[in-house]
Structure 1
């Protein structure tokens, strides 16, 4: 039976594009994106979805009197599609506790840092300011506390001496495109789930402890908890 994804976006939709490719190629098997919802009518990712024949919906948060009202309407829009997973793919809105609780264990996000380092915004600039040697991306289950949900998989990329936020962001984004489909496949296949506030693995993550070649010839190291962690 085909699993269903609803993606929430606010911008260009690069992770949407990588997830769509993964669904079409079978990397995320027996799965379809059934709707893309954006809080911004001018989000370029909407055009990508329409070109792929995916239904889209715009829900402008500015049209609602409160954050709670917007989230209630958003929840209604999502539930109309009965998705197996709700995927935050560059959705630039903080979600209410009631919204997150409703989808707990079925709501995932990708964050451009090695959480718990650098939650929130401007992660690449903050990483450079701190002088870290490694930066990266984290796929995690969403919980009420911002960017604090249990990590599913991380990709670490080296920070170069001549990096600026834009160059570093480009390498991290490439890593995001690799790990997000892999994490979704693990969840949808039942290998990974949120249980009692922790990520539980029934089998090892396919990319665990492996290193893959990054398009720019840097290494991207995949990291996940061990099974049962």
Structure 2
């Protein structure tokens, strides 16, 4: 593992065995905003996660010693550090495995550095919050958790208890992808994990009530084949 002294800068741990990717990310991220540290395999990543206590982990899944999903599971045994997967694996089941194991986000190589920077900022913003903001304001959408009140353009929206629970779950993890199975377990229980149609119907109903144009959702975004994400900013 290599790294630079970063003072109070947020620490980014890059875990990738490809020298070209390491060099690219080091150049892109080491711009005065972040302190970039690197690990080239799973065991080095686990050691660095303990000693360095990074603020964000960028993790490739195809490591030479441990599968990236196993690295995620081991980190999640003791830490909630944001983990953003960066991988060439495009299959939906691979993304679901990583997210279900505890990853916060997933970017498929090749990706734009602008998109990566945006995902890192979301992850850092979320990690700095000890608890979800009690009132989440995203453009015209306002979710007031303590009062169980949802408004769009100041007008209260009447939701069913299930619709509200679904929106509350998404709002509590705003900016993060939640897989179908994660949502189904949380809202309906483990017996419904194999019934994604239940989730689709309720997401559709929720969008009809809160989205300006339900056919082109602005806030409740679909991650195809994986799950849903509530945007945390316009």
TM over 0.5, shorter chain: no
Q: TM-score range by the shorter chain?
A: 0.3 to 0.5
Q: Report the structure, 1 or 2, having the larger strand content.
A: 1
- Structure number with greater CO (CA < 8 Å, separation at least 6) is 1
State the TM-score, normalizing by the size of structure 1.
0.38
Larger radius of gyration: 2
